[in-house]
Amino acid sequence: MIALLLRDLRLAMRAGGGFGLGLAFFLLVAVLVPLGVGPEGGVLARIAPGILWVGALLACLLSLDRLFALDHEDGSLDLLATAPIPLEGVVAIKALAHWLVTGLPLTLAAPLLGVLLHLPDSGQVWLVASLAVGTPALSSIGAFGAALTVGLKRGGLLLSLLVLPLYVPTLIFGAEIIKRGAAGMAVEVPLLLLAGITLGAAAALPFASALALRINLR
Amino acid sequence: MSIWEYANPKKFIATAQRVLPWVATGAAVALIMGLIWGFFFTPDDYKQGSTVKIIFLHVPAAMMAINAWVMMLVTSLVWLVRRHHVSALAARAAAPVGMTFTLIALATGAFWGQPMWGTWWEWDPRLTSFLILFLFYLGYVALWEAVENPDTAADLTAVLCMVGSVFAVLSRYAVKFWNQGLHQDSTILKVGEKDPLDPAYYWPLAVCIAGFILLFVALVLLRTITEIRLRRLAVIEARERLGS
């Protein structure tokens, strides 16, 4: 399983693997929104939590369709499915690899973009915290969507249609944490709820994803 | 005699066709009666005026929009566990109907909200959850359309329906957390409590709800029969192509 994780990470790092693409997209969102909304600091500070979370969500979505599709094309997914490790584990590892190359860099880069969007300093720490806690959920949920659409030729658009509604609770709690944190209110409740979603998704969704993969590989 | 006999498509079609005219007539009678009663023979509300009468479309549509998803969940589960094709096709048949009811509820709500709340749309928890429910329906229907192999499509949509249900409920409560409500609470089940629905509205509303339930059953039966026949047609066509 560790070998699989390393393989996925290596593939993502190499040229054409898409590493950094999500990050660049995230940066673009944070640059384009002020261009569209106008440069007033007050407005930007108010919408910053939502923009950053929506940006993270879309950046995550961008790389999801390659999660299983490439392996499906060259047949390595069939090999993984028949390998002596459980398919659920494969899915979990692939989601973890996806998080390491998209969610984690996003979390680390977020404070910089927070500054660009005039997010108050009191919100910065909660921005990082909410992304760190919430983005693993995005990867697990996304892996489920990718598993559903793996056999389709043009699954990318359908994938976003399936996955985005599933992202609603994560988005709400994630943005709420930053909003409350920036305003100096207590953030325990949304933070715990977000952690609950992440843990629940990481624990239960690999089973659903593996089931969907098995159906698609039949 | 058990319900599983209807897993046989032939038996299902025979029974459905016998029942369908009665259900359809019942739906028509109840809807015509309920709507005419509701629209023309109930008094105006002292505060809302005649706009209150949109309740006769809004409430039954909203109820059935949710119930349709629950029905899809149950039939998906039956398909996954017992592999009855009729069950999967019934879920497929119900989805667009439920989606339409969701749209009706959203549209009538907007028409009512414009004069009453002064806005077509408000990011209120109930409204938002209904919009999210609509997105779930959209994804479900799109997945059915996208997958070519019918059995794979049935399996995948069933899994999606189950995971989607969990997230739909989660979203419902997340949205409540996110914004305070403008939408009033349900008054139908408040009989005997304070602030109940006026009896003048209660009975026509009950008739309308019965009409919507019958309409849903009739549409799902009809669409399931159509789906079964389409499936048969595809088999016949495939056989012809092999023969020629």
What confidence tier does B44 reach under pLDDT thresholds 50, 70, 90?
confident
d(CA B38, CA B56): 7
Between A11-25, A32-46, B148-162, B165-179, the lowest mean confidence (pLDDT) is in: A11-25
pLDDT at residue B201, rounded to an integer: 80
List Cβ neighbours of A105 (8 Å cut-off, separation of 6 or more). A20, A22, A23
The interface predicted TM-score (ipTM) is: 0.87
Q: What's the pLDDT at A133?
A: 93
Residues A116-121 have a mean pLDDT of 86
Evaluate if residue B33 carries a pLDDT over 60: yes
Q: Is B2 exposed, middle or buried (CB count within 10 Å of its CB: 0-12, 13-18, 19+)?
A: exposed
Task: Please state, for a pLDDT cut of 90, what percent of chain A lies above it.
Answer: 35
Q: How far is CA B198 from CA B52, B92, B187, B201, B229, in A?
A: 12, 38, 9, 6, 46
- Residue B196: pLDDT band (50, 70, 90) is low
- pTM value is 0.89
Residue B31 near residue B208, CB atoms below 8 Å = yes
Q: What's the DSSP call for residue A86?
A: -
Orientation of helix A168-182 relative to helix B150-178, angle to 10°: 20
Exposure string of B34-54, with b = 16+ CB inside 10 Å and e = fewer, is bbebbeeebeeeeeeeebbbb
Q: Is the pLDDT of residue A15 over 70?
A: no
pLDDT digits (tens, 9 = 90+) for A171-186: 999 998 998 888 888 8
DSSP B113-135: HHHHTS-S----HHHHHHHHHHH
Phi, psi values for residue B49, rounded to 5°: 65, -145
pLDDT score, position B187: 63
**Of B67-81, B136-150, B170-184, the least confident:** B170-184
Contacts of B159 in chain A (CB under 8 A): 148, 208, 211-212, 215
Q: How many CB pairs under 8 A join A and B?
A: 72
The pLDDT of residue A23: 86
CA-to-CA distance for B151 and B158, rounded, in angstroms? 11
Distance (Å, whole) CA A125 – CA B146: 42
Q: Are B56 and B35 in contact (CB under 8 A)?
A: yes
Distance of CA B53 to the CA centre of its chain: 21
Quote the percentage of chain A above a pLDDT of 70.
Answer: 98
Kindly state the average pLDDT of the residues A138-158: 88
Residue B92 token pair: 């497929």
Looking at every residue in chain A, the average pLDDT score rounds to 87
DSSP β-bridge partners for residue B49: B45
Residues of chain A found within 8 Å of residue B167, distances taken between Cβ atoms: 165-166, 168-169
- How many angstroms separate the CA of residue A91 from the nearest CA in chain B? 16
Phi then psi for residue B120, to 5 deg, are -70, -35
Averaged pLDDT for residues B85-107: 94
Residue-averaged pLDDT of chain B = 87
Residues of B in contact with A148 (CB under 8 A): 143, 156, 159-160
Residue given tokens 């629209």 in the structure block: B39
The distance of A112 to chain B (nearest Cα, Å) reads 26
Q: How many CB atoms within 10 Å of residue A86?
A: 14
Q: How far is B152 from chain A (nearest CA, A)?
A: 6
Q: Given an 8 Å threshold on Cβ–Cβ distance, is A168 in contact with B177? A: no
Q: Which residues of A touch B174 (CB under 8 A)?
A: 168-169, 172-173, 193
Q: b/e per residue, A4-38, with b = 16+ CB within 10 A?
A: beeebbebbeeeebbbebbbebbbebbeebbeeee
Dihedral sign computed on CA atoms, order A70, A76, A78, A82: negative
Give dist(CA A103, CA A202) in Å, integer.
14
Tell whether the model's pLDDT for residue A144 goes beyond 90.
Answer: yes
Over residues A88-114, the pLDDT tens digits come to 999 999 999 899 888 998 999 999 988
Q: In whole angstroms, what is the distance from residue B171 CA to residue A123 CA?
A: 24
Nearest-CA distance from B15 to chain A in Å?
Answer: 32
Burial label, A74 (beta-carbon count in 10 A; 0-12, 13-18, 19+):
exposed
In this prediction, residue B192 has a pLDDT band, given cuts at 50, 70 and 90, of low
